[in-house]
Amino acid sequence: MTVQPHIRIEKVSKVFRTGGSEVAALDDINLDIKAGEFICLLGPSGCGKSTLLNTVAGFSLPTSGVVRVHGETVRVPGPDRGMVFQEYALFPWMTVEKNIAFGLEIQKQGRAQIAGKVDALLEMLKLQDFRGRYPKDLSGGMRQRVAIARVLALDSPIMLMDEPFGALDSLTRRNLQDELLRIWMEYRKTIIFVTHSIEESIYLADRIIVMTYRPGRIKQDVSVTMPHPRDPSSAEFNDLKKELGMLVMEEQSRHNQEEIKAPVAD
């Protein structure tokens, strides 16, 4: 029986201290995520999207508050929360096949079982012809497919994605967005997806969490009810885009003012 995940972010704050100065990256974040929901975290650069995702992933602990996944407090990273990074983070010394198999080998699954799963994933993500290649010989889109396959192999109920398609050209990006939606619908994963593209968030998400810039708070929680596949040229899509655009613009301009006052490295 697979346990249905439920993510609860309770009063989470995160303060970074660097050389005397303090940055309130997250401030009193409260968020409940239902199993199978597709959540987008949206906001300008530096508003704390990655920080929030990392507390769910277990890479960094909140300064106060807790993150619970199905009732259990998150303390360390684990294969129940698969992570897809913007920089792909594939192991360059492993072939495509080996990268996908790595998580399964860690779990000491049988050889035949691993081979079967890897084959299925290669086929699902159209990577069959690249199975023996090293990541350096793949395009950005291909690398991100491998990264997704690597996480899918573990069958984690939760997928955390930090601007996974940020570095891709728009065509490849749309392609992978569609593929991700297909996977999400087929496997009913819970997905937290960080982006600063308004259009991407509307195209993908059930709920869009717009964040404020310093301190990082939840500005608005927007539900998107349009059925998939969504048409970016439709009136509904564009109305929402305008609405979100205003919200993000406000934060962006605060971001710009802060930048002028004290330049920070994001």
Partner 1 sequence: MKKNCLAKTFGILHGLLVPIVLLALWQWLSSQAIVNPMILPAPTRVLAKWWEYLMPAQAYDPATSGYLAWMFSGEMIHDAYASMYRVTVGFVVGAILALPLGLIMGANDRVYKLFNPLIQILRPIPPIAFIPLSILWFGLGNPPAIFLIVIGAFFPILMNTIAGVRNVDGIYIRAARSLGASQTTMFLRVILPAATPYILTGMRIGVGTAFIVVIVAEMIAVNNGLGYRILEAREFFWSDKIIAGMFTIGLLGLAIDTGMNRLNNHLLKWHRGIENK
Q: Which of 10, 15, 28, 78 binds partner 1 (CB under 8 A)?
A: 78
Q: Tell me how far, at minimum, the Cβ of 85 lies from Mg ion, in Å.
A: 10
The Cα 121–Cα 127 span in angstroms is: 8
Which is closer to partner 1, CB of 146 or CB of 222? 146
Amino acid at 15: V
**Residue 37: CB minimum distance to partner 1, A:** 20
Pick the binder of ligand ATP from 7, 33, 47, 101 (CB under 6 A).
47
The length of the chain, given as a count of residues: 266
Instruction: Identify whether the C-beta of residue 84 lies closer than 8 Å to the C-beta of residue 161.
Output: yes
**164: contact with ligand ATP by CB under 6 A:** no
Q: Quick one: which of 17, 18, 19, 93 contacts partner 1 (CB under 8 A)?
A: 93
User: Considering the rule CB under 6 A, would residue 51 count as an interface residue with ligand ATP?
Assistant: yes
Residue from 5, 43, 44, 103 binding partner 1 (CB under 8 A): 103
Q: Judge contact between 130 and 138, C-beta under 8 A.
A: yes
Q: Six-digit token pair at 217?
A: 């708070």
The verdict on 16 binding ligand ATP (CB under 6 A) reads: yes
Asked whether the beta carbons of 155 and 3 are under 8 A apart, the reply is: no
Spatial CB neighbours of 149, under 8 Å, sequence gap ≥ 6: 100, 121, 122, 124, 125, 127
- Binding flag, residue 46, ligand ATP (CB under 6 A): yes
Residue ranges binding Mg ion (CB under 5 A): 50
